Amino acid sequence: MRILVTGGGGQIGTELLHVLASQGHELSVYDIARRPSAAPGSAAWHRGDVSNRSEVFDVVQELKPEVIYHLAALLSATGETLPHRAYQVNMDGTHNVLEAARTFGVRQVMFASTIAVFGPHLPDPVPNEVSLRPTTMYGITKVAGEMLGEYYDNTWGVDFRGVRFPGLISAGEPGGGTTDYALFMYVHGLRHGAYECFVGPDSTVPMMYMPDALRALVELSAAPKEKLKRHVYNIAAFSPTADEFADAVRARVPNVQLTYNADPMRQSILDSWPARVDDAAARHDWGWKAQYTLDSMSDDLIAKIKAMDE
């Protein structure tokens, strides 16, 4: 298939490109950043800003993708620092992508949503259908993106599907999210022998290893539409405390020093998110199931970071 990935140079996008390339798809990327060295050479690179409607329309009209993976976004911590820019990228950008998909006959739009759509004081675990009252600009724009996508599907037949990602962990460079502390424990612990975590030791949110996250996107894209009972799905893997992450690193990195110094802004964002989400709908509708545990992820992640440093 012809596939366009917006934000393909980011943490998720770069690794998703390799998965899609291995399946033989014709890939193009639309990203404001230059091509990273980690991106596969087979992906055509197009520089541009998703908040610029004419640029988005031009690239979709030119490339005629059958599927768009819409990943371009400013993440939670960056979004609180630059809320107006977060609105432009996350809200205007999503509207531009959906309108271009409608105008030029794109069959499907895959959307990267997030647990940031949830607010505080929700059931534990949080079910798929619940009142969405986020406390960050990032979360607000993602709720609006979910609802706008449903509108385009119901009104104009653009096949819109999305997953609500937990915090994602990979060997790649993170992009300004509130859950980046988990990866930094492994990376800084291995490379420097120490890391001061920007949230407290008891902080708990849903997390997932990147290979599972990529598989969720690809599997949901391929699922028969008649089996899907909703447009956007919770997905889940594990929910360790920050100190449980630290214990996993300590068990694998001798003499590492991991300490805590909570940043008030990022701690408040994290505290507004649920500790666990219920992904029963995804498991029922399209057979979703995470493969990695905290331990199996830790073993694989440390091996990958070491290989990168050799």
> How confident is the model over 176-199, as pLDDT tens digits?
788 999 999 999 999 999 999 999
Residues 93-136 have pLDDT tens digits of: 999 999 999 999 999 999 999 999 999 999 999 999 999 999 99
Task: Tell which CATH classification among 3.90.920.20, 3.30.365.10, 3.80.10.10, 3.90.25.10 matches the domain 169-206+238-277+292-309.
Answer: 3.90.25.10
pLDDT at 4 > cutoff 90 = yes
Q: Is residue 174's pLDDT more than 80?
A: no
Q: Is the pLDDT of residue 307 over 70?
A: yes
CATH no. of 2-168+209-234? 3.40.50.720
Amino acid making up residue 38: A
Domain ranges of the chain: 2-168+209-234, 169-206+238-277+292-309
The per-residue pLDDT of the chain, averaged, comes to: 96
138 catalytically annotated: yes
Average pLDDT over residues 72-84: 93
pLDDT in tens, 46-63: 999 999 999 999 999 999
pLDDT single digits (tens) 126-137: 999 999 999 999
Q: Are 9 and 36 in contact (CB under 8 A)?
A: yes
- pLDDT reported for residue 175: 66
For the chain, give the percent of residues with pLDDT over 70: 99
- In tens, the pLDDT along 243-267 reads 999 999 999 999 999 999 999 999 9
Band of residue 3 on the pLDDT scale cut at 50, 70, 90: very high
Let me know: does 87 contact 51? Beta carbons within 8 Å: no
Tokens 């541009």 found at: 48
Supply the DSSP string of 36-48, one letter for each residue: PTTS-TTSEEEE-
169-206+238-277+292-309 matches 2-168+209-234 in CATH topology: no
What's the mean pLDDT in 160-184?
A: 89
- Average pLDDT on 69-92 reads 95
pLDDT of 77? 86
∠ CA 44-89-170, rounded to 5°: 65
Q: How far is CA 298 from the centre of its chain?
A: 19
As a whole number, mean pLDDT of residues 145-168 equals 97
Tell me which of 30, 69, 138, 186 is the catalytic residue.
Answer: 138
Percent above pLDDT 90 for the chain: 93
Stretch 275-286: mean pLDDT: 98
Estimate to the nearest angstrom the gap between the alpha carbon of 113 and the chain centroid: 7
- How many C-beta neighbours within 10 Å does residue 83 have? 16
Decide if 241 contacts 182 (C-beta within 8 A): no
Angle between helices 210-222 and 11-22 (to 10 degrees): 60
Find out whether 77 and 178 touch, Cβ atoms under 8 Å. Answer: yes
* pLDDT at res. 172: 77
Residue 32 has pLDDT above 80, yes or no: yes
As a whole number of angstroms, the distance between CA 218 and CA 243 comes to: 32
pLDDT given at position 37: 87
CA distance 192 to 295: 22
